[in-house]
Amino acid sequence: MFRFRFELLQGGEDSPRLGKLHIRNREIETPVFMPVGTYAAVKTLSPRELEEVGARIILSNAYHLHLRPGEKLVKKLGGIHRFTGWDGGFLTDSGGFQVFSLASMRKIDRRGVEFRSHIDGAREYLTPEDVVRIETDIGADIIMPLDVCTGADTSKEDAREAALRTIEWAKRSRSAWQGIGSNALFGIVQGGMFPDTRAWCAEEMGGLDFPGYAVGGLSVGEEWGKMYELLEATVPLLPGHKPRYLMGVGLPENILEAVLRGVDMFDSVLPTRNARNGTVFVPGGKLVLKNNRYREDEKPIQDGCTCYTCTNFTRAYLRHLFKMREILAYRLATIHNLHYLITFVSKIREAIKGSTLDRFIETFRSGHV
């Protein structure tokens, strides 16, 4: 049974949108931010805490889970929801980005990718068909096909070739998926830093009628302005009634700008990784909790924040925990950062709903949200 549906409630091709993802027995409002749990766990947090910070869908990684514990085991144990105890949504990334970012390990040919396991160095070969099967075994609700990601300095020729292969692989993934998937397979737009290549790729993908679309290969080192320009060249060409997911973007500023350009879904390791380094989001910027200036600071991370961390702990205590490398430090900072970002996105939704987005943008720019 096909368990995925997207309902567009407001907005069109290239404007801020409101929608709902219907996944299994859940409704998830968009725009939405998805915390990253690479190995089937959002680092440091329990499912209960994820629920409490407002997470509704999280991202995991097919490549990583394939290596450990293996998709067959996850399947045998009832799928990833039952395995992890997380009853919300699961999206799996394919591993295409890992192949790109661990470039020394990769060899890409027409059939698929070869890489060495980052765990034990073993040689692995994965085709687009393998990836769809792995993600289906894992039991994710939304799955991403294997794609070829490029960098900020990739030439136009190479970017075009990568996009072409991404399209070919998307078709093969689609065929493999139609036989087995009760999940939703998204098409991924690549095309490097070139608006026309992106536009062409978006139109090709759009024609394949995927349940949803992603924009990949952005936020890889380019200027923000460039990223927005490329979004403008891509997003309006995607089918308006399908969800659009901007991969790997998680800064409040970037999320807001992308929503303005019609994007619905986001993920990033930023809030969780920054938290573990002691850097936390606050309106107008961030705090580095280890800083000596917080030594005697009895304020919470953020005045008025309703997260567990801010309602119970001072900056001084958090600084102490970070200095002592107490695991509790990483947890409490992670709770705040995810709560901050998820609340930020929910405020964007409210602003779209109430037609107060201009005022919201102003409040955000002046450092008050």
Minimum CB–partner distance for residue 38 and a copy of itself (Å): 9
Closest CA to 6 of 16, 19, 18, 17: 19
Minimum CB–partner distance for residue 101 and a copy of itself (Å): 19
| Structural tokens at position 43 | 């680092």
Q: Which helix (H) or strand (E) holds 173?
A: helix 156-180
267 is annotated as an active-site residue: yes
Q: How far apart are CA 338 and CA 271, in angstroms?
A: 6
| Structural tokens at position 328 | 């509790």
Residue 291 binding a copy of itself, by CB under 8 A: no
Position among 77, 207, 354, 362 found at the interface with a copy of itself (CB under 8 A): 77
Residue owning tokens 């931010």: 33
Name which of residues 313 to 332 contact a copy of itself (CB under 8 A). Answer: 313-314, 316-317, 319-321, 323-324, 326-328, 330-332
Residue 46 binding a copy of itself, by CB under 8 A: yes
Residue owning tokens 């994710």: 140
Residue 43 binding a copy of itself, by CB under 8 A: yes
Residue 84 binding a copy of itself, by CB under 8 A: yes
Among the listed ranges 172-180, 201-209, 238-246, 306-314, the one in contact with a copy of itself (CB under 8 A) is 306-314
Minimum CB–partner distance for residue 85 and a copy of itself (Å): 5
Q: How far apart are CA 135 and CA 60, in angstroms?
A: 10
Position among 68, 111, 118, 286 found at the interface with a copy of itself (CB under 8 A): 68
Position among 18, 34, 45, 185 found at the interface with a copy of itself (CB under 8 A): 45
Alpha-carbon torsion, ordered 190, 191, 197, 198, to 10 deg: 40
Residues 6+ apart with CB under 8 A from 250: 33, 266, 267, 268, 269, 270, 271, 341
Q: Which helix (H) or strand (E) holds 347?
A: helix 327-353
Interaction site with a copy of itself (CB under 8 A): 39-41, 43-48, 68-69, 73, 76-78, 83-85, 295-296, 298, 308, 312-314, 316-317, 319-321, 323-324, 326-328, 330-332
| Positions marked catalytic | 93, 267
